């Protein structure tokens, strides 16, 4: 796809790179700060503006789900089922990898396969894999710069918003 473009979203947790085409998002990924200004340009395309708006609302604590159109270039049926189920996890809530396995019709012993599907998620935040944790209460992995610490921060952020605490994003985005 030669018409792919990117937009970078500055968040209180770091920078997100969003790869998109004219009518859909292809990928969202956390990037290291030193990469932010190397090759990104500002875009006024309608989808780019919608991407910026929805992520800004999320990090201000004003949005709990995304309406952005997206498409997957490569996906297995198993990953698709897992990601669809992850989208159903309520804002600020967490479930275990084992519970997610049960919800997609697998044995709870399939938790490792669930973890792999989470790691392959091309749309973090939109498909909120940060809401999936280990059954022993530990956070588990998060495949992004910042790893588990970032995952803890995202969960805590959503829980603060639900409690009505001032979201940290309101201090960053004015």
Q: Which residues are catalytic?
A: 129
119's enclosing H/E stretch is helix 111-119
- Whether 138 and 102 have beta carbons less than 8 Å apart is answered as no
Q: Starting at the edge strand that comes first in sequence, how are the strands of the sheet with 5-11 ordered? A: 5-11, 14-21, 24-31
Q: Is 9 left (phi over 0), alpha (psi -120 to 50) or beta?
A: beta
Bridge partners of residue 28, in order along the sequence: 18
No. of helices (H) and no. of strands (E), the chain: 6, 5
Helix (H/G/I), strand (E/B), else coil: 39: coil
């Amino acid at each position: 796809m030669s018409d792919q473009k990117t937009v970078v979203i500055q968040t209180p947790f770091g920078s997100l790179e969003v790869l998109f085409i004219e009518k859909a998002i292809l990928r969202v990924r956390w990037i290291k700060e030193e990469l932010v200004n190397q090759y990104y340009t500002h875009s006024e395309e309608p989808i780019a503006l919608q991407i910026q708006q929805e992520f800004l609302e999320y990090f201000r604590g004003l949005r709990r789900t995304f309406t952005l159109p997206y498409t997957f270039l490569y996906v297995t049926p198993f990953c698709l089922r897992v990601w669809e189920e992850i989208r159903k996890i309520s804002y600020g809530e967490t479930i275990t990898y084992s519970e997610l396995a049960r919800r997609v019709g697998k044995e709870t012993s399939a938790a490792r396969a669930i973890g792999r599907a989470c790691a392959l998620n091309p749309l973090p935040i939109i498909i909120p894999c940060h809401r999936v944790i280990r059954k022993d209460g530990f956070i588990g992995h998060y495949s992004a710069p910042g790893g588990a610490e970032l995952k803890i921060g995202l969960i805590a952020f959503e829980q603060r918003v639900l409690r009505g605490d001032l979201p940290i994003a309101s201090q960053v985005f004015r």
